[in-house]
């Protein structure tokens, strides 16, 4: 089991534990903000399961039906996760508004809820940092999306804990659904960021400007005469399509060796890179 799969499995296990804790405490205390966090964590669990399977599929070698690999599975996973976050936020707002519009707000043992939220924030801080580390090392969109899920959970858990503490101090019970709505609005913002990040590469988007500039500097350093440079991203895989000029008197063997040298240099710089070179005489 590789690092990506191990960390994805840890996310599944931690989310399962937190859901159980939040549901139990939510019903004991009657807090809609805690219930909203349980819903949020449930979506996190679904997202973690999706990420777990997507990283396994994305690392599958290319085959006859998918000659360019399975990298975009991670982007599809990210889009699904973003939609799930948005659904979770909508459910939270619906329940909170229902409380504000007249349903009696009955709260009990609030201090337990506040404690559970702080424990949740601590666990998710640890897991999300590990997820981000592996995501950046492996260029995994699915793991980065999962880490973003847990990062939002950290902020929202702290927000709920603070809200419950204020209720204990002031006795103002309507703060509970208000905090839940604020949590939901924050979640919606994060879901939009994730959706944009995951969906864009599905359209075969080029590398970002900084990455392309870095690539061009690398090619110039290698003294490559080129044109028609194209790049694209699929999950944690990168693709380069380039036309390279070689002296017309060179043999096919010499041209092939020259292209191999370019390809090897680029692949030593960029991980999971696929290079296609079209040779043109000059």
Q: Is the pTM of this model over 0.95?
A: no
Quick: pLDDT tens for 258-278. Answer: 899 999 999 888 888 889 999
Q: Dihedral of CA 106/109/113/118: which sign?
A: positive
Quick: pLDDT tens for 177-216. Answer: 787 788 788 778 877 877 887 777 676 678 888 889 999 9
Backbone φ/ψ region at 246: left (φ over 0), alpha (ψ -120 to 50), beta: beta
User: Hey, is 233 helix, strand or coil?
Assistant: strand
Residue 243: per-residue pLDDT? 93
CATH superfamily, with its number, for domain 209-281: Cation efflux protein, cytoplasmic domain (3.30.70.1350)
Domains 3-203 and 209-281 share a fold: no
Quick: pLDDT tens for 120-153. Answer: 889 889 988 888 888 878 777 777 777 877 887 7
Q: Which CA distances in Å does 48 have to 5, 84, 85, 138, 247?
A: 11, 11, 12, 17, 53
228 membership: H or E segment, kind and range: strand 226-234
Domain extents in the chain: 3-203, 209-281
**For residue 201, which of 89, 84, 86, 68 has the smallest C-alpha distance?**
68
Return the beta strands (E) in the chain as ranges. 226-234, 237-246, 273-281
Residue 108: per-residue pLDDT? 62
Cα–Cα distance, 1 to 123 (Å, whole number): 23
**For residue 255, which of 222, 277, 227, 230 has the smallest C-alpha distance?**
277
Domain at 3-203: CATH architecture: Up-down Bundle (1.20)
Quick: pLDDT tens for 66-77. Answer: 766 666 777 777
């Amino acid at each position: 089991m590789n690092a990506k799969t191990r960390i994805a499995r840890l996310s599944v296990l931690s989310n399962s534990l937190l859901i159980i804790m939040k549901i139990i405490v939510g019903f004991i205390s009657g807090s809609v903000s805690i219930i909203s966090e349980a819903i949020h964590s449930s979506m996190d669990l679904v997202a973690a399961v999706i990420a777990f399977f997507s990283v396994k599929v994305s690392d599958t070698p290319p085959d006859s039906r998918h000659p360019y690999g399975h990298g975009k599975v991670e982007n599809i996973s990210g889009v699904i996760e973003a939609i799930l976050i948005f659904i979770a936020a909508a459910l939270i707002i619906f329940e909170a508004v229902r409380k504000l519009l007249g349903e009696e707000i009955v709260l009990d043992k609030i201090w337990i809820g506040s404690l559970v939220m702080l424990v949740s924030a601590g666990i998710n801080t640890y897991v999300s940092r590990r997820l981000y580390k592996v995501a950046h090392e492996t260029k995994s969109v699915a793991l980065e999306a999962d880490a973003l899920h847990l990062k939002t959970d950290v902020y929202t858990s702290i927000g709920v804990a603070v809200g419950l503490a204020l209720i204990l101090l002031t006795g103002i019970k309507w703060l509970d659904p208000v905090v839940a709505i604020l949590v939901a609005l924050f979640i919606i913002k994060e879901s939009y960021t994730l959706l944009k990040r995951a969906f864009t590469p599905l359209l075969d988007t080029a590398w970002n400007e900084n990455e392309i500039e870095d690539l061009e500097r690398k090619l110039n350093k290698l003294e490559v005469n080129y044109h028609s440079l194209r790049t694209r991203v699929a999950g944690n895989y990168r693709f380069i399509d380039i036309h390279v000029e070689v002296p017309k008197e060179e043999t096919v063997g010499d041209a092939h060796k020259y292209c191999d040298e370019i390809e090897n240099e680029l692949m030593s710089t960029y991980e999971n890179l696929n290079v296609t070179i079209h040779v043109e005489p000059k």
